[in-house]
Amino acid sequence: MEDVKSYIESGILELYVLGQLTAQENSEVEAMAAQHPEVKAEISAIEVAMESYAMENSVAASAELEAKILAQFRDHTAHSPKVVPLYDQETEIRVKVLRYALVACIALLVVCVATLYSLNNKLNTAHEQIASLSAAKEQFARTTSKLEFERAGMENRIAMTESDEWATVKLAGVKETPDAKMLVYWNKRNKNILINYAAIKLPAPGKAHEYQLWALVDGKPVSLGVFGTDESAKEAVKSMDAIDHAQAFAVTIEPLGGSVNPTMEKMVVMGTI
């Protein structure tokens, strides 16, 4: 019984009614219908459903066209030999129903394809708009963060410049980097050293390098630590190693982690106290 149900639900009966099966497949369906009343009943139900659908969606001919066709038919019948129909009336009705149903299915398919194409275009447009808005939002967030970073640096710069406790040392670019510059703040009381990213303009060190701050103490360079660019900094102001006294400060570009001795050909700025 389960096999019969699966056979009915397989869709082969609809193809049988539509005339889409081979002769062998038609014979198999007719054999199943002869053995199982429920198969035969399903075939009849499919035929009735298709006939109803075709009748409901058929377009009636105008009275003028119908009269013209009937007149031609009567004239042709009067002068033509008797034709013996190959199919009975019931078969002809089924053929007409199937034709109507086929036309309706094709029309429905065209409408579905057009609708899917339109929806797909709208979906692609929506995805592009979402991606554009997301990129704009990220750019706005980066710009806002950058402005906030620079504002904090400027506030700290002003505060340290106006305080007598801090000495500001200007470092200017050397011959190879004339446009470079930065400020070093030295606390006269506790000897702390600060740098402010809002007051730095240095050439990019590259991914494998970073900046290293040096103090010239009694003619010898002393490392005060390394620092990166403002994009890699978490705060606008960075604290370097403290030093009791110095005659000058300088910055070189060194490999990541810094060097024991400064690479003189990589010096970018220098300033005396």
Residue 39 one-letter amino acid:
V
Strand order in the sheet with 181-187: 220-227, 209-217, 248-255, 267-272, 166-173, 181-187, 193-196, 237-240
pLDDT of residue 8: 86
What's phi and psi for 184, nearest 5 deg?
-120, 130
The mean per-residue pLDDT over the stretch 220-248 comes to 88
pLDDT of residue 210: 95
| Cβ-Cβ contacts under 8 Å for 206 (sequence gap 6 or more) | 253
What is the percentage of the chain residues whose pLDDT exceeds 90? Answer: 33
Q: What's the rounded Cα separation, in Å, for the pair 149 and 156?
A: 11
Report the range of poorest mean pLDDT among 15-19, 101-105, 123-127, 232-236: 232-236
The mean per-residue pLDDT over the stretch 5-11 comes to 85
pLDDT of residue 150: 47
Highest mean pLDDT among 82-86, 128-132, 147-151: 128-132
| Residue 80 confidence (pLDDT) above 70 | no
Please, which pLDDT band fits residue 140 given cuts at 50, 70 and 90?
Answer: very low
Per-residue tokens: 239: 């604290």
The mean per-residue pLDDT over the stretch 80-92 comes to 59
Please, which pLDDT band fits residue 136 given cuts at 50, 70 and 90?
Answer: low
Please, which pLDDT band fits residue 50 given cuts at 50, 70 and 90?
Answer: confident
Tens of pLDDT, residue by residue over 175-214, are 999 999 999 999 988 899 999 888 899 999 999 999 999 9
Task: Give the DSSP H/E element, type plus range, for residue 127.
Answer: helix 89-161
Give me the chain's average pLDDT, please: 80
pLDDT of residue 103: 80
Query: Which one is predicted more confidently, 121 or 268?
Result: 268
Of 12, 46, 9, nearest in space to 28 by CA:
12
Q: What's the rounded Cα separation, in Å, for the pair 164 and 192?
A: 14
| Residue 61 confidence (pLDDT) above 60 | no
pTM of the full structure: 0.43
Terminal C-alpha separation, the chain: 102
pLDDT of residue 17: 85
| Residue 264 confidence (pLDDT) above 70 | yes
Angle between helices 89-161 and 37-57 (to 10 degrees): 80
Highest mean pLDDT among 50-54, 65-69, 258-262: 258-262
248-255 vs 267-272, strand pairing mode: antiparallel
Q: What's the rounded Cα separation, in Å, for the pair 139 and 238?
A: 26
Looking at residue 204, the DSSP 8-state letter turns out to be -
